[in-house]
Every structure is written in C-alpha cells, then in structure tokens.
C-alpha cells in the first residue's frame, strides 16, 4: 500500500497475476490474461514490471520471507515444543487464508523460476524445513512427542496445511479458527482412540 492507502498499479498487477497463476498455472497464464484482469493492455504493464519472470520471483520470495521470519520469531519464544508446533501450524493456515493465491504460487510454480533464482528459493525452503524438523526432534528428545520419524512428521504437517487451498472456502461451515483447531487436534492427537 502507498501512504494514502491506495495500492499501486504494480501491486494490482502482482495480485491479479497470483490469482491467475493459481488457477491456470504460470505457463497457462499469458501476459494478456493478466492485463485483462488489471484493465490495461499487456504492453502497458511493462511500465510497472520488468518481465513475467519478475512477477513470479516477487510472489515466491515474498512468501518464503514471511515463512522464515515467522519461524525465527517462534524459535525464540519461551514456549513448549508442542506450543511452537501449534504456532507454526496456525501461521501456515492464517497465511493460506489471508494470502491464498500467493501461497499457492509459491508452493507450485516456484519451479518455473529462472535457474539463478531457483537455487536461492530451494535453499530458503530447505533452511525452513530444517528449522521446523529441528523443533520436532527437540520435542521428541524432551519427551513431549512420540518417537516418530521427524522427517515424516515434518512433511505430514506441511502437507496437511498445504492442501487447504484446494477445499477450504472461508465462511462456509468452518471458520479459519475452527479449521486451525481441527487440524491441530488431528495432527497432534491422531485419529484413533487410545
């Protein structure tokens, strides 16, 4: 947002592009498609963005930066490991609900980043996953968690929150807060009675 609260043309382009990339994929979306949503000709967009690649780059790294900074905050808070995992799950769900199209693009279309930036992105993701897995392993070592395989636990959690985009429609039967609680119950307590 600018000072007067009005989004810039650039921000509008990035937002509409994220929606289209989510629905039709990066390769399936043309600059003409984006221009149509924004309300200008494709050529005019080049006054606000450098290239189609740059749009994708901006979306992907904006999201990965949010993930990483939130992880660093949570790591430093004085919480039990169970509470830290819960906080991370809530962060994923909130980001998905608030910024869904961009999160979807960062999850699916990152592979179309130009080679040079692709390395940066996968490296950032690897660091995030490593930090998350370390929290799980520490929770196991502390006796809070069952002795599961921490890699399997990590990806089970990450996968579960990833697919919210595919079926969650906010304001239907479930609110975002109820969704958080249900997913956390399922992942931390399990399906079966003991």
Crossing angle for the helix pair 9-24 and 100-108, nearest 10 degrees?
A: 60
Torsion 24-26-28-29 (CA) sign:
positive
Q: Which of residues 79-108 bind its own copies (CB under 8 A)?
A: 82, 85, 108
Out of 156, 170, 175, 177, the residue judged to bind its own copies by CB under 8 A:
156
Q: Which does 120 bind (CB under 5 to 8 A by kind): DNA, its own copies, none?
A: none
134 makes contact with its own copies (CB under 8 A): no
Q: DSSP E strands: which ranges in 24-71?
A: none
| Contacts for 140-147: CB closer than 8 Å, 24+ residues apart | 142/81, 144/80, 144/81, 144/82, 145/81, 145/82
Nearest to 13 by CA among 42, 41, 46, 38: 38
27 makes contact with its own copies (CB under 8 A): yes
Q: How many angstroms separate the CA atoms of 103 and 194, rounded?
A: 36
Q: Which does 53 bind (CB under 5 to 8 A by kind): its own copies, DNA, none?
A: DNA
Answer for the pair 8, 94: CB distance below 8 angstroms, yes or no. Answer: no
Least distance between its own copies and beta carbon 49 (Å): 21
Least distance between its own copies and beta carbon 80 (Å): 10
Name the token pair of 49: 């963005």
Least distance between its own copies and beta carbon 3 (Å): 39
Residues lying near DNA in the complex (CB under 7 A) are found at: 9, 29-33, 40-44, 46-48, 51-53
Q: Which does 33 bind (CB under 5 to 8 A by kind): its own copies, DNA, none?
A: DNA
Name the token pair of 158: 């990450």
141 makes contact with its own copies (CB under 8 A): no
**Which residues would be at the binding site for its own copies (CB under 8 A)?**
24-28, 82, 85, 108, 111-112, 136, 139, 143-146, 148-149, 151-153, 155-160, 162-164, 166-167, 174, 179, 182-183, 185-194
């Amino acid at each position: 947002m600018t000072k007067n609260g009005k989004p810039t043309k650039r921000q509008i382009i990035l937002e509409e592009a994220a929606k289209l990339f989510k629905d039709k994929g990066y390769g399936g979306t043309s600059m003409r498609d984006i221009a149509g949503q924004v309300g200008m000709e494709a050529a005019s967009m080049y006054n606000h963005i450098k290239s189609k690649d740059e749009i994708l780059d901006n979306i992907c790294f904006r999201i990965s930066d949010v993930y990483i900074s939130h992880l660093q905050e949570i790591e430093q808070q004085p919480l039990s490991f169970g509470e830290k995992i819960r906080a991370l799950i809530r962060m994923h769900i909130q980001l998905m609900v608030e910024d869904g199209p961009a999160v979807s693009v960062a999850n699916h279309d990152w592979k179309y980043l130009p080679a040079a930036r692709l390395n940066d992105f996968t490296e950032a993701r690897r660091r995030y996953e490593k930090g998350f897995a370390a929290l799980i392993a520490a929770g196991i070592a502390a006796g809070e968690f069952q002795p599961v395989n921490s890699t399997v636990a990590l990806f089970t959690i990450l996968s579960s929150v990833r697919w919210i985009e595919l079926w969650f429609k906010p304001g239907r039967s479930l609110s975002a807060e109820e969704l958080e609680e249900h997913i956390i119950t399922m992942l931390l307590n399990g399906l079966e009675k003991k």
